[in-house]
Amino acid sequence: MRVRIDDVAKAAGVSMKTVSRVLNEEPNVSDETRRKVQEAVEKLRYRPLASARLLAGRRSNLVAMLYDNPSSNYLMEVELGVLDACQSQHYNLMLAPLDYRARDIVAKVESLVVQSQLDGVVLTPPITDDRALLARLDEIGVPYASVSAQERNRRIGVFVDEESAARDMVLHLVSLGHRRIAHIKGHAAHGASRWRLAGYRAGLREAGIAYDPELVVAGRFFYESGYEATNRLLDLPQRPTAIFAANDDMAAGSICAICERGLAVPRDISVCGFDDMPVARFIYPSLTTVRQPSRDMGRLAGLEVIKAIRERGAGENIELPYTLQLRRSTGAVPG
């Protein structure tokens, strides 16, 4: 029925072990023997069984991506990058959606890692910052790479300097003449929210604009939360001339809320976001935003775990550059 390694051995006229050597690209096989084995493998369409290899002590060539909030555009982009890395390195990718608030997250991840013998995992925010989980992963000895982890030293993964990026964005708004600049914060559990808020404040400071707590409202990274936050801002006695949302989805919600009041973007109010997801180009007016190379971040995180898997101690925390994407949603402060 199923072709096994000794079928191949028989067909090639060698021992099982030799076939195994060829398959695993081990040394000490003559070219002639190697060729014979490869032919037999080809002819019999032999595929070594992952579970048997694994049980006998080899690697799984399997990594998992852990994430909360699967429906975020941002995570989908990261996922594409990780997938890309896995493909290029002949790894398979498993998806593990988790609730970052769940009590049993450590146990869940441990089960997955141990049971499926994962070679490594990729962590995405805010799971990147779960100390208990990281400690456990270290104990078990599974390499992991983080995307935008809050703690930046002694980690392997990828990040961008989001604080500087947010500051630059604010300074851009200032350069357009804006001084009443509002900020819609992201979800509190995410480091990104902290960094972006800090950058917002830094930008104001550099521009010599006083921080006005009234202009900073809560959001949760969703479209709806941007919509609602903007309505609160528009109800202010003196409304802002620019709104800096902590991500693109919220900025899209912001634009919608503004338009619904009969105001125009950027004529009456400028809006900008963060991330540069595809939606930033699709909406009208197209969104000025901070471009974070999410897909590349996913790819690099994937490559770094795999590097760490292959060579213990390898892997680093890589900083990637951001860029400001100036599009149509920001303009000069109204007359």
- Residue 117 binds a second copy, judged by CB under 8 A: yes
Q: Which stretch binds DNA (CB under 7 A): 48-56, 65-73, 308-316, 325-333?
A: 48-56
Q: Is 263 exposed, middle or buried (0-12, 13-18, 19+ CB in 10 A)?
A: middle
Closest CA to 240 of 276, 261, 271, 278: 271
- Residue 5 binds DNA, judged by CB under 7 A: yes
- Residue 14 binds DNA, judged by CB under 7 A: yes
Residues 114 and 60: their CA atoms lie apart, in Å, by 11
- Residue 90 binds DNA, judged by CB under 7 A: no
- Residue 28 binds DNA, judged by CB under 7 A: yes
Residues 241 and 226: their CA atoms lie apart, in Å, by 16
Q: Which stretch binds a second copy (CB under 8 A): 32-40, 79-87, 142-150, 187-195?
A: 79-87
Nearer to a second copy, 143 or 191 (CB): 143
Alpha-carbon radius of gyration of the chain: 25
* Shortest reach from residue 212's CB to a second copy, in Å: 28
Cα–Cα distances (Å) from 323 to 160, 162, 253, in that order, read: 10, 10, 23
Which residue is listed with tokens 């076939």? 19
Here's the x/- map for a second copy, 46-75, by CB under 8 A: it reads as -xxxxxx-xx----x---------xx-x--
Say which entry of DNA, a second copy, none residue 88 contacts (CB below 5 to 8 A, set by partner kind).
none
- Residue 48 binds DNA, judged by CB under 7 A: yes
Nearer to a second copy, 47 or 131 (CB): 47
Helix residue ranges, H only, the chain: 5-12, 16-23, 31-44, 50-55, 73-88, 105-115, 131-140, 162-175, 191-207, 223-234, 248-260, 279-282, 294-310
- Residue 55 binds DNA, judged by CB under 7 A: yes
Partnered with residue 92 across adjacent β-strands are 62
Nearer to DNA, 19 or 82 (CB): 19
Listed in sequence order, the residues at least 6 apart from 41 whose beta carbon sits closer than 8 Å to its beta carbon are 8, 19, 22, 23
Angle at 330 between CA 329 and CA 335, to 5 degrees: 120
Residues 253 and 58: their CA atoms lie apart, in Å, by 49
Query: Which parts of 162-221 interact with a second copy (CB under 8 A)?
Result: none
Under the rule (CB under 7 A), what is the footprint of DNA?
Answer: 2, 4-6, 13-21, 23-24, 27-30, 32-33, 46, 48-49, 52-53, 55-58
Under the rule (CB under 8 A), what is the footprint of a second copy?
Answer: 2, 45, 47-52, 54-55, 60, 70-71, 73, 76, 80, 83, 87, 92-97, 110-112, 114-117, 223, 249, 252-253, 255-256, 259, 278-279, 281-284, 286
